[in-house]
Amino acid sequence: MDLICNLITIFIVLLFVRAVLSWFPVRPDGPMAQLGQILVTLTDWALRPLRSVIPPAGMFDLSFMVLVFGLFILRSAICS
């Protein structure tokens, strides 16, 4: 059970790092671009289905918020 809790926590951290990196301009040939691409690869599989159902609200990606809140709820239900 601890493994699942840790994986959920790591995934939440990856989502937050991806969100923070999206706020800053990144040179396409820089190391931050590579990190951003890795984060997209690791997290997009969970965001893509939500984005097809939940439209963006201006500049806010509501699918990100729904996923993070859902993961927090899942983590509290499983890990407590």
- 1 against 7, higher pLDDT: 7
* Count of the separate structural domains present in the chain: 1
3-class SS of residue 9: helix
Instruction: Tell me the residue range of the domain where 61 lies.
Output: 2-79
CB 39 within 8 A of CB 17: yes
In angstroms, the first-to-last Cα distance of the chain is: 10
pLDDT at 25: 86
pLDDT per residue over 4-39, tens digit each? 999 999 999 999 999 999 888 888 888 888 999 999
> CB neighbours of 47 closer than 8 A, spacing ≥ 6?
61, 63, 64, 67
Specify which residues 60 forms β-bridges with. 57
Q: What is the pTM of this model?
A: 0.89
- 30 against 48, higher pLDDT: 48
